[in-house]
């Protein structure tokens, strides 16, 4: 990786507070582009234009992501005086349609919670922790990284809200349901004290539970609950939190705050989920739809 792209990544971390996962994604995209065209701060526009052909076999969403990373870099390079031109216009600009998020039904969430509650009744620390994790994923709409990295000090004693550090180092307050509070209190009673860790959900090495392990725990629980594990993930539970709140009449701006979205356009995807559900309901339940099926 060239010094210019490394400087760009340093800027994202220092000035924009980009998260580690975001930085890793930018690094992959920029490094991959430099393997094809060389130093991005010096590559001529004609060479940049050839990236469209190199990326032709990729999905439109992937091309759009890579092009976005390069556009931001080129803007930075011009500001720094490393380039006299901005070759962003030579990059492909595929039209992408954002896919609707996977959402669990109320019944599927209930089945998952019932199984987690049943297993937590054994008193085993791993099962008690499992219930606390799920209650907070579905009850507060946390991202996987936000949840596993919660410090022990974040657990409120009396306040109904919990402080979460979101993307870009932005803190926000999210509600903690009575169910989640009870599950957390049960977890704190059996939470291991050794090795010492400042995290609410520590790992054996004293750090915090990994995102990968959280994914594994959820999928294993889904199998035991009789659900398709391919349709279960921390982010799917976050989507369920948002969609079910919206179905219940939640305001879109409130939902934006709860989810920690910087742009309300990101939150609006859930209105499309609800619209899709209503259309499906009409097409499958309306008397005319049933009559056409019988014909």
**What tokens appear for 163 in the block?**
């402080």
Point out the catalytic residue in the list 66, 238, 239, 244. 238
211-224 vs 106-120: helix crossing angle, rounded to 10:
100
Angle at 49 between CA 46 and CA 54, to 5 degrees: 125
Six token digits for residue 22: 């975001």
Nearest to 151 by CA among 171, 127, 131, 168: 171
Which ranges of 163-268 does DSSP label H, i.e. alpha helix?
178-190, 211-224, 234-247, 252-259, 264-267
State the pairing for strand pair 161-165/171-175. Answer: antiparallel
- Catalytic-labelled residue, pool 143, 181, 239, 244: 143
Task: Check 102, 172, 207, 235 and give the catalytic one.
Answer: 235
CA angle 11, 62, 43 (to 5 degrees): 55
Q: Residues 267, 238: contact at Cβ < 8 Å?
A: no
Residues 174 and 127: beta-carbon distance below 8 Å? no
Told to judge if 167 belongs to the known catalytic residues of this protein, a careful annotator would answer yes
Q: Is 261 a catalytic residue?
A: yes
The conformation of residue 295, written as its DSSP 8-state character, comes to -
Active site residue 272: no
235 labelled catalytic: yes
Q: Catalytic residue at 98?
A: no
Q: Pick the catalytic residue: 65, 71, 261, 277?
A: 261
Q: Is the peptide bond before 219 cis (omega within 30 degrees of 0)?
A: no
Q: Which of 167, 179, 207, 277 is catalytic?
A: 167
- Annotated catalytic sites, by residue? 143, 167, 235, 238, 261, 270
């Amino acid at each position: 990786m060239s010094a210019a792209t490394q400087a760009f990544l340093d800027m994202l971390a220092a000035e924009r507070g980009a998260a580690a996962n975001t930085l890793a994604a930018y690094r992959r995209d920029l490094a991959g582009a430099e393997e094809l065209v060389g130093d991005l701060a010096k590559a001529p526009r004609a060479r940049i234009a050839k990236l469209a052909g190199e990326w032709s076999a990729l999905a439109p969403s992937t091309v759009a992501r890579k092009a976005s990373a390069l556009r931001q870099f080129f803007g930075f390079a011009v500001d720094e005086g490393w380039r006299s031109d901005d070759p962003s216009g030579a990059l492909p600009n595929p039209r992408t349609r954002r896919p609707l998020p996977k959402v669990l039904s109320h019944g599927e969430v209930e089945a998952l919670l019932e199984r987690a509650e049943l297993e937590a009744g054994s008193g085993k620390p791993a099962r008690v922790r499992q219930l606390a994790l799920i209650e907070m994923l579905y009850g507060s709409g946390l991202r996987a990284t936000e949840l596993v990295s919660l410090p022990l000090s974040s657990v409120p004693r009396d306040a109904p809200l919990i402080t979460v550090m979101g993307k870009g180092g932005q803190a926000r307050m999210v509600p903690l349901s009575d169910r989640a509070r009870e599950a957390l209190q049960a977890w704190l009673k059996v939470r291991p004290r050794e090795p010492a860790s400042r995290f609410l959900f520590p790992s054996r090495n004293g750090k915090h539970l990994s995102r990968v392990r959280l994914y594994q725990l959820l999928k294993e629980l889904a199998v035991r609950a009789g659900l398709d594990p391919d349709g279960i993930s921390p982010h799917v539970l976050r989507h369920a939190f948002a969609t079910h709140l919206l179905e219940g009449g939640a305001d879109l701006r409130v939902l934006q705050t709860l989810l920690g979205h910087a742009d309300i356009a990101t939150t609006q995807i859930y209105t499309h989920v609800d619209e899709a559900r209503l259309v499906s309901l009409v097409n499958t339940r309306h008397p005319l739809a049933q009559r056409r099926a019988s014909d």
